[in-house]
Chain A
């Protein structure tokens, strides 16, 4: 069973629809820590404010995810779901993330390379420096375009599986064994995005 965690951060319809399109069996949209503990795979979507992840802690879902990933359950965080895997975000300094990866998520700089930088970063941008050993990005070529919409971004770390450049490089995808995340929206990234989701479903 794939548990899609609903923590009231945006619309889950698109993610669930994409998983169904890929014939993923038994997709459960849930707020229950027990359902999460019983899942083979966990998807944490989410758009919007980092503050909304506070509900994960309040509902006991942070602990459930921590236990599940420790025993090897596959995990995919999308957008804010990826950012939550880090220690936190300057968007909501009082709300800690899971801390599975080192570093804080920060806002895009106001200027870069001497020019104003618009934010949010909205639209199709390319994946670069894709790690050849990434299971999530298997079959995805360097330079492939995916759809982003965000104002905060995760730093590049050792576990980064692909970077994207906008006001410098940030983590577009990361992966350490069973723990994975993407800053972009695979459910909105046409064939490339479906490929990423299919890779996850088929793990």
Chain B
């Protein structure tokens, strides 16, 4: 049976893992390569590394980090942040990433999705969507870019559909309303996107307990869920989390 994936996310700034609360308030949490290996050993099904500053000067540092992390990582490894062109994506793939996550650049140039897919396969392109609910809630939830600073006027569900039609392999949906609050995922928004597309949807933002994951895999219809701060400070490992999920009837990769 196809299992629900637990994805450990490393937000990286200047070569260090950090984790913000609602996109600000940054706390240092360690070396990305070391943490990637630690998460994989602790049972994470996948690792995502997001370069949240993604400055032009920082590219060399990022590629070095990707190379070090990928060297001994034998689970799927996604890298995102600052990928603006097919050449940027190629550099990240060559450093050892299996998938790239693109966000602002996919909105600025939607053809980038298909362009990267043409060289590396559709499965290698994740379109990340930062979303915030509107006045009507989920219905008019809006897509934000530039690390959540800029509204785009795009509706979340519509953009997810377009990303799929342009060849995205997966959608990584982050709720800015719930991100970093450890109070649960936005299950309604996740379900709305998951029902609108055929490709897998990764839910992100708000993980605080195993019950939140049970909820987003059930009510939220997510195929995978991403968590960052819940792991970094030793709250729980993927393995512990999955054992709790299995008890609640969620199909997960165990033993791992």
Interface residues in chain A, defined as those with a beta carbon under 8 Å from any beta carbon in chain B: 8-11, 13-14, 17-18, 21, 47-49, 118-126, 145, 147, 149-150, 165-166, 185, 187-191, 193-194
Contact = CB atoms under 8 A, between A and B. Distances in A.
B188 to A, nearest CB: 19
B250 to A, nearest CB: 13
B96 A14 contact: yes
B1 A120 contact: no
A48 B74 contact: no
Given A11-B98, A119-B198, A122-B169, A190 B40 contact: yes
A49 B256 CA distance: 31
A32 B170 CA distance: 34
Contact of A123 (B5, B71, B124): B5
A121 B2 contact: yes
A149 B120 CA distance: 13
A17 B70 contact: yes
A124 B40 contact: no
Interface in B174-199: 198-199
Contacts of B71: 17
Given A122-B223, A189-B74, A165 B1 contact: yes
B217 to A, nearest CB: 12
A111 B189 CA distance: 24
Interface residues of B, number: 33
A120 B119 CA distance: 18
Contacts of A187: 74
B75 interface: yes
Contact of B74 (A13, A47, A121, A188): A188
Contacts of A47: 120-121, 123-124
B224 A123 contact: yes
A14 B98 contact: yes
B93 A11 contact: yes
16 contacts: A11-B94, A11-B120, A14-B70, A17-B96, A21-B74, A118-B200, A122-B169, A123-B224, A124-B2, A124-B5, A145-B253, A149-B169, A150-B123, A166-B2, A188-B75, A190-B256
Contacts of A18: 74
Given A10-B121, A145-B256, A123 B96 contact: no
Contacts of B98: 11, 14, 188
B45 interface: yes
B49 to A, nearest CB: 15
A143 B93 CA distance: 31
A145 B255 CA distance: 9
Given A124-B45, A124-B253, 9 more contacts: A14-B96, A17-B96, A120-B123, A120-B200, A122-B123, A187-B74, A189-B75, A190-B74, A194-B74
A118 B198 contact: yes
Contacts of A150: 123
Contacts of B121: 9-10, 47-49
Nearest to B76: A188
Contacts of A17: 70-71, 96
Nearest to B200: A122
